[in-house]
């Protein structure tokens, strides 16, 4: 059985009570570049999202989990573009408060989700898309065994210019 409890953090399903956290996160313009967001989200839109968050990963092709320390939500980690036929999914994470970063929380969350993806969902590979100037995330994914397999040139338009995105992959061989 896979345990979503680590040494520092645990992962849990997103719940209706997470509305204020989700509102703060999704409307933080500092992370819009990595999330692909270009407009603010209303609480009503996010409430509707939370009402449907229980839907099965096989149906919606995504699983979003809260990264928690005790009762405090620190961030989110997602499996997205879930493809059971080809046994792969994308992975993304965000820890909202900068003071909580670089403490091993992201690494632990990736490790827990990695185990869940490979043991429960039967995935063969996970991939991550990271902007080339996001050195902290590149370091984190490489530390967790992801390998750089390509560069998507001029992939993201941000702040008046184009940025490259690095494609990283971890295969469960």
Q: What is the pLDDT along the chain (173 residues), one digit of tens a residue?
A: 567 999 999 999 999 999 888 888 888 877 777 777 778 888 898 888 888 787 889 888 999 999 999 999 999 999 999 999 999 999 999 998 889 999 999 999 999 999 999 999 999 999 999 999 999 999 999 999 999 999 999 999 888 899 999 999 999 97
Q: List, in order of start, the domains of the chain with CATH numbers.
A: 10-123 (3.40.630.30)
CB 161 within 8 A of CB 139: no
What is residue 35's DSSP assignment?
H
Query: Cα 35 from chain centroid?
Result: 9
Which pair of structure tokens corresponds to residue 86? 């080809």
Reported pTM: 0.90
């Amino acid at each position: 059985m896979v345990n979503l409890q680590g040494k520092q953090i645990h992962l849990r399903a997103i719940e209706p009570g997470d509305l204020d956290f989700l509102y703060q996160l999704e409307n933080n313009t500092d992370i819009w570049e990595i999330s692909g967001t270009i407009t603010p989200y209303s609480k009503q839109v996010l409430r509707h999202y939370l009402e449907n968050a229980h839907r099965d990963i096989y149906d919606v092709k995504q699983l979003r989990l809260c990264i928690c320390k005790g009762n405090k939500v620190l961030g989110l980690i997602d499996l997205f573009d879930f493809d059971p036929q080809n046994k792969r999914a994308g992975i993304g994470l965000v820890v909202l408060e900068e003071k909580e970063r670089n403490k091993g929380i992201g690494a632990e969350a990736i490790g827990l989700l990695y185990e869940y993806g490979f043991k429960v969902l039967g995935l063969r590979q996970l991939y991550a898309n990271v902007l080339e100037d996001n050195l902290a995330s590149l370091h984190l994914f490489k530390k967790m065994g992801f390998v750089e397999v390509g560069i998507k040139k001029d992939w993201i338009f941000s702040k008046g210019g184009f940025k490259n995105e690095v494609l990283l992959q971890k295969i469960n061989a």
